[in-house]
């Protein structure tokens, strides 16, 4: 299959009788010759595993970093965001199902070289690049090459992921320039098994911890799905894992669910989001947010020491930035964990 979007993957293991094991995500699919992985983006061709979506982009556009959401990573900047097709999870409420539930078609795909992505980011005035919309590990091999080029040009590189990549894949991404990882945590192990089709909570928290230990910036999103993972006992378990794996300073976002794809439960009541957020703060999370509720006061960043309003937001816009140039609260001097320089100037005296 001599197509530009078909390229041998660096992460697989050859097995007997022409079989191979993909080592990109934790499904670790074992593929016979001619077989496709669960995601449909990788296949065994002649005993080797190939990606079928190298440079096959389903979207390419500049987006504010807050929409990911990253709230402590290059505030008020924009990232050229790109994606491909399919996913390695089976979540029935997927908001981007028009991308994640579509299998790739290499023979009809358009190919965009990595150089073109970096060139477009620089032309558009973006501060970074981001793989998002569908699960970015579907675009793992391409990400490595884009990130290496982007990092050399001074662009940040980030992933918006379910966190289910192998530790080998994560290590490769970090070595290529990944500096920001937003992890969507689905809930307890039961939620992963019942709704996502994987056994994965431990691996997701492991990867979040490994990324943080490697010096990458990590933020966690918990989509609070009405009737699925909204019980406070489940929220408490997730917050405990967050604190154990990542500590109190890693931001945690409690995001409102809306019906999508094959899931029709009503939108999550804002009161449930507030209960989850307040529980996280009581348990020790210093930066806990509410998402998908534009104008809510918990979109903002407050000093965990004195309560000073530091970053005021509306939806995906930063309206006010009051952190000093050395990342401290201007009132009490508490250090605020911000990764990268903000795109707007500080209004506080330093």
pLDDT, tens digit, for every residue of 317-343?
Answer: 999 999 999 999 999 999 999 999 998
Q: What is the pLDDT of residues 99-108, one digit of tens each?
A: 999 999 999 9
Same domain, 322 and 205: no
Same domain, 307 and 339: yes
Same domain, 88 and 200: yes
Residue 261, in any domain of the structure: yes
Mean pLDDT in runs of 10 for the chain (350 residues)?
89 98 98 98 98 98 98 98 98 96 95 98 98 98 98 98 98 98 97 95 98 98 97 98 98 98 97 98 98 98 98 97 97 98 57
Residue 32, in any domain of the structure: yes
Tokens of 180: 């920001």
Contact in structure between 336 and 322 (CB atoms under 8 Å): no
Same domain, 324 and 242: no
Nearest to 86 by CA among 48, 61, 56, 116: 56
Residue 1, in any domain of the structure: no
The enclosing domain of 224 has a CATH number of 3.20.20.70
Same domain, 132 and 264: yes
> Number of folded domains in the chain?
3
Contact in structure between 276 and 222 (CB atoms under 8 Å): yes
Residue 2, in any domain of the structure: no
Write down the pTM of the prediction: 0.96
Same domain, 100 and 13: no
DSSP letter at 192 equals I
How confident is the model at residue 262, as a pLDDT? 97
Domain that holds residue 168: 59-299
Same domain, 134 and 158: yes
* Whole-number Cα distances in Å, 336 to 75, 96, 111, 301, 311: 13, 33, 42, 10, 11
Same domain, 162 and 307: no
For residue 173, count CB atoms less than 10 angstroms from its CB and return exposed for 0-12, middle for 13-18, buried for 19 or more: buried
Same domain, 188 and 74: yes
Average pLDDT value over all residues in the chain:
96
């Amino acid at each position: 299959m001599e197509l530009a979007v078909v390229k041998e993957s660096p992460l697989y293991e050859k097995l007997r009788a022409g079989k191979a094991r993909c080592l990109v995500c934790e499904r670790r699919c074992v593929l016979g010759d001619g077989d496709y992985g669960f995601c449909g983006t990788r296949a065994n061709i002649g005993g080797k595993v190939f990606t079928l979506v190298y440079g096959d982009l389903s979207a390419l556009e500049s987006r504010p970093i807050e929409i990911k959401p990253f709230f402590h990573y290059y505030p008020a900047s924009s990232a050229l965001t790109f994606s491909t097709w399919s996913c390695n999870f089976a979540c029935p409420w997927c908001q981007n199902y028009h991308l994640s539930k579509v299998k790739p078609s290499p023979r009809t795909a358009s190919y965009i070289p990595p150089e073109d992505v970096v060139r477009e980011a620089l032309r558009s005035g973006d501060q970074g690049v981001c793989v998002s919309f569908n699960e970015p590990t579907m675009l793992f091999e391409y990400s490595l090459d884009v990130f290496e080029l982007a990092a050399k040009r001074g662009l940040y590189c980030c992933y918006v992921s379910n966190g289910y990549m192998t530790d080998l894949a994560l290590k490769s991404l970090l070595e290529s320039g990944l500096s920001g990882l937003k992890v969507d945590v689905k809930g307890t192990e039961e939620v992963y098994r019942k709704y996502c089709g994987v056994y994965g909570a431990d691996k997701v928290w492991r990867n979040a911890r490994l990324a943080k230990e490697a010096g990458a910036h990590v933020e966690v999103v918990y989509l609070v799905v009405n009737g699925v993972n909204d019980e406070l006992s489940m929220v408490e378990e997730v917050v405990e894992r967050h604190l154990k794996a990542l500590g109190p300073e890693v931001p945690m976002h409690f995001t409102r669910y809306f019906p999508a794809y094959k899931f029709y439960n009503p939108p999550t009541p804002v009161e449930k989001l507030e209960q989850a957020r307040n529980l996280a703060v009581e348990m020790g999370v210093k930066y806990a947010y509410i998402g998908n509720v534009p104008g809510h006061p918990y979109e903002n960043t407050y000093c965990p020491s004195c309560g000073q309003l530091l970053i005021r937001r509306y939806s995906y816009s930063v309206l006010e930035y009051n952190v000093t140039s050395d990342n401290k609260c201007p009132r009490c001097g508490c250090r605020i964990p911000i990764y990268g320089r903000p795109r707007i100037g500080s209004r506080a005296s330093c």
